[in-house]
Amino acid sequence: MSQAQSPSSSGSSALVDTSRQGNVLVLTINNPPVNAFSPGVPEGLHAGLDMAEADEGIQAVVIIGGGRTFIAGADIKTFDMPREQAPDLRGFITRLDAFSKPTVAAIHGTALGGGLEVALACNYRVATPDAQLGLPEVKLGVLPGAGGTQRLPRVVGVQKALEMMLSGNPVRAAEAEALGLVDELADGDLLTAAVAYAEAVAMARPLPRISERAAEGSAELFAAARAGLGKTHKGQLAPGLIVDLAEMATQKPFQEGWDAEAALFMQAKDSPQSRGLRHIFFAEREAGKIPGLGKTTPQLEIRSAGIIGAGTMGGGIAMNFLNVGIPVTIVETAQDALDRGLGVIRKNYENTAKKGRMSMDDVEKRMALLTPTLSMDDLKDADIIIEAVYENMDVKKEIFTRLDAVAKPGAILASNTSTLDVNEIASVTKRPESVIGLHFFSPANVMKLLEIVRADKTSDTVLATSMALAKKIRKVGVVVGVCDGFVGNRMIHHYGDEARKLVEEGAKPQDVDAAMHTLGLPMGPFEMSDMAGLDVGYLIRQHQAKVAGQPKPDGWLDRIVEQGRKGQKTQAGIYDYPDGRKPVPSAATDEVLNTYRSEKGLQSREISQEEATKRLTYSLVNEGAQILDEGIAQRAGDIDVIYIYGYGFPAYRGGPMQYADEQGLSSVVADLENYGHTPAPLLKKLAQEGKTFADWDKEKARA
């Protein structure tokens, strides 16, 4: 976007430039990177309106963003500021709506949240064809708080406004134009088009004001919207308030809805849910920052990938590359396994096409990027090779030895191991600097998390390339260190142990799972184990005992597996699965438990849901603190990102570490001790100092 040419006069505040284009005053917001409505922005905009008011020669005002975007919203960093210090978006919008001369919002990039609310308070909106407009506040646990809930339904209709506000997803400019949200699409330069538009409407009166329009919506529509929330936003505060306010827009004068919105916005903003979601917004962005690495760190270009293993994991990983147009060579040891793997990939794509989310043409285009082979030699040109075979160190070492001989110099050699020592894997190559762990989560084409395991000798270039690659294939990459299970699985191991103990002490598996449902997790620990397959953990336990020379494990869970009950895949595990996927409490499991308890002389006691929730969640937190202390994770926020994108922890809780911060670390320590656990030293220290994990992250970032 070019700036105004040859202004006849100009002025500026720190964040808002003013310039004249004939009889139009242009206010350009310059608050990089995204022109958030930060302190200083309203002051600059008010000064601009003052100027427009005072000068009779100015007949219209254009508001535009400098740099890459229009205003991308209120400044989220100011949400916790005292009210009097926070930028007064509502005050500015009130003035803008009542302004006596025509105002035009010139939109490029993203007009989001408060940004779209500013645009809605202008009389007209002009946008570039690639602009996006939306009210994403729900993703931060709040509602549009500067008129959005009242104005959007008055423009696009209640149904569409609810869809936009409840999903938080933006619409593209062409759709916005069709909806009446945008008055004109700019063909060429945005500013030129917006100034021309402003000149054309300079004398038009009365000024069109969205606040003066009416919105319509039936009782049935709102009832259906409320009923839908149970499915899409279970347990969340803001979505229900959004529906209430949209309904008000149809029933009450604008001013009444506007006032109600202010009060409800504050209620949502001050909720733990909003704190959790805002925490994750920033944690996700922080996770992309690695101390010592920056924009100048060289990166490799990834134009092709090789994948070893066409099983569920390898196939899922391949799809991520195919989806973004990167050709993949996939290797198996036998033709039937290769055919099966390719068949599954094709079927996945065809199912997506059946649901109307891609065309059959796209399916074929993606499949055409995939080259199946039985020979590892065919990986010689790949820029990155990802091994995705089963968890066995000897097998992985053999593969990496082979890869070292085959791969071209500089190629990234990655293992998808979920537990094994990446240093040991790297040690069999002559190029350990090229070796890294890329731990995808199952199903790998769906789950957004990618644990990026930095081994001792992994080069900065390989790490930086892997982070960039994660973004390219639309994953959230989080760097972790080498240890058994890295971050996610190491913590989940303790969670699983705690769940088993709860049952030994008397809880029913379904009660333990229900305790985690109340926190908003879609699955409890036992439902998750049944889905993953109980035999995996069983085999690991048996193997570990054998290696350690200990007797064969004989826990209640081992006994269930020994009855052939391996989980969902055998339609029987801890639960029964009479209709395939829905878990039903099992009499067989009850019997195993009764026998087990009586044989071992275990006394059963009543365990409250509160105790179960605390013990399970704090088992994650305690191990998380230990992981932080060891430097396996860089930040508590990284752990939260891992749990939200890899393990279904609800984003509105902010992840386990943020959840612990909300409870207060001294109460977490007291509870852990009360339940017979030893709190991790870092957790204890922070609690004693009256600090939070967030404080720890901040101190570390400053250090």
Size of the site for ligand 3HC (CB under 6 A): 24
Dihedrals phi, psi of 342, to nearest 5 degrees: -65, -35
Return the number of the residue (75 or 332) whose C-beta is nearest ligand 3HC. Answer: 75
Q: Cβ–Cβ contacts within 10 Å for residue 591, how many?
A: 12
700 binds ligand 3HC (CB under 6 A): no
Residue 700 CB, shortest distance to ligand 3HC, in Å, is 16
d(CA 53, CA 169): 36
By beta-carbon proximity to ligand 3HC, the closer residue of 236 and 568 is: 236
Q: By C-beta, is 68 or 252 nearer to ligand 3HC?
A: 68
Is 239 a binder of ligand 3HC (CB under 6 A)? no
Rounded alpha-carbon distances, angstroms, from residue 315 to 367, 370, 444, 577: 12, 10, 8, 27
CA–CA gap between residue 108 and residue 127 (Å, rounded): 6
Closer residue to ligand 3HC (CB): 71 or 463: 71
Only segment of 29-37, 40-48, 543-551, 671-679 that touches ligand 3HC (CB under 6 A)? 29-37
Contact between 136 and ligand 3HC per CB under 6 A = yes
Kindly indicate which of the ranges 133-141, 495-503, 638-646, 693-701 contains the residues binding ligand 3HC, using the contact rule CB under 6 A: 133-141
Q: What is the DSSP letter of 608?
A: -
Residue 34 interacting with ligand 3HC (CB under 6 A): yes
Restricting to residues 274-293, which ones interact with ligand 3HC according to CB under 6 A?
282, 285
The answer to whether 295 and 327 are in contact (CB under 8 A) is: no
Cα–Cα dist 531/645, whole Å: 17
16, 48 contact by CB (below 8 A): yes
Report if residue 75 touches ligand 3HC, rule: CB under 6 A: yes
Q: Are 235 and 520 in contact (CB under 8 A)?
A: yes
Q: Any catalytic annotation for residue 175?
A: no
Site string for ligand 3HC, 140-169 (x = CB under 6 A): x---xxx-x---------------------
Q: Name the catalytic one among 137, 177, 199, 498.
A: 137
Q: How far is the CB of 637 from ligand 3HC (least distance, A)?
A: 12
CB within 8 Å of 424: residues ≥ 6 apart? 393, 397
Tokens of 216: 């319509």
* Alpha carbon distance 5, 20 (integer Å): 9
624 binds ligand 3HC (CB under 6 A): no
Where does residue 226 rank: exposed (0-12), middle (13-18), buried (19+ CB within 10 A)? middle
Beta bridge partners of 329: 306, 371
Rounded Cα gap, residues 480 and 388, in angstroms: 19
Q: How far is the CB of 495 from ligand 3HC (least distance, A)?
A: 30
The enclosing H or E element of 424 equals helix 422-427
Does 264 sit near ligand 3HC (CB under 6 A)? no
Shortest gap between Cβ of 312 and ligand 3HC (angstroms)?
Answer: 31
- Concerning whether 387 is annotated as a catalytic residue, the answer is no
Instruction: Rule CB under 6 A: choose which of 4, 24, 64, 76 binds ligand 3HC.
Output: 76
24: DSSP letter? E
β strands within 108-182, DSSP E: 110-112, 124-127, 132-134, 171-172
Q: Which helix (H) or strand (E) holds 479?
A: strand 476-480
**Near ligand 3HC by CB under 6 A: residue from 1, 24, 49, 74:** 74
Contact pattern from residue 77 through residue 116 relative to ligand 3HC, giving x for each residue in contact according to CB under 6 A and a dash for the rest: x-----------x--------------------x-xxx--
Residue 269 beta carbon to ligand 3HC: minimum distance, rounded to whole angstroms: 8
**With respect to ligand 3HC, which residue has the nearer C-beta, 76 or 644?**
76
**Residue with Cβ nearer ligand 3HC (140 or 242):** 140
Catalytic residue among 117, 247, 451, 498: 117
Distance CA 273, CA 415 (A): 36
Q: In whole angstroms, how far apart are CA 25 and each of 51, 102, 120, 184?
A: 9, 11, 19, 19
The answer to whether 564 touches 592, Cβ cutoff 8 Å, is no
Least distance in angstroms from the C-beta of 497 to ligand 3HC: 36
* Cα distance between residue 478 and residue 639, in whole Å: 9
Amino acid code (one letter) for 474: R
467 binds ligand 3HC (CB under 6 A): no
Q: Is 638 in the site for ligand 3HC (CB under 6 A)?
A: no
Q: Does 260 bind ligand 3HC (CB under 6 A)?
A: no
Tokens of 691: 């600090």
Pick the closer one to ligand 3HC by CB: 73 or 485.
73
- Point out the residues that are catalytic: 117, 137
- Contact set with ligand 3HC (CB under 6 A): 33-34, 36, 72-77, 89, 110, 112-114, 117, 136-137, 140, 144-146, 148, 282, 285
